[in-house]
Amino acid sequence: PPESRFVNIRGRVLIVRGDDDNEAYASMTGRISNGIPQATTVVIQGGTHFLHLEKPAELNQAMREFLKQ
């Protein structure tokens, strides 16, 4: 399965999702985050799958903070 290859991803990865997203997407992002050694997950309050439209300031802030690390 594709999930078995996540461990081979060596770089840092930012995973962002909204807390109002559907359960299937939340579950999928959890599997991805758990499988990638250097993954960081950010959950944005009040957002769904369309964070770039719904919560652009919060999404940009999450990306800025990640890139500063």
Long-range Cβ contacts of 53-58 (<8 Å, 24+ apart): 54/18, 55/18
Q: Is the pLDDT of residue 1 over 80?
A: no
Q: Report the alpha-carbon distance of residue 41 to residue 15 in Å, rounded.
A: 5
Given a cut of 90, whether residue 27 has pLDDT beyond it is: yes
Read off the pLDDT band of 2 (50, 70, 90): confident
- Single-letter amino acid, residue 37: P
pTM of the model: 0.87
Residue 3 banded pLDDT, cuts 50, 70, 90:
confident
CA 49 to chain centre: 11
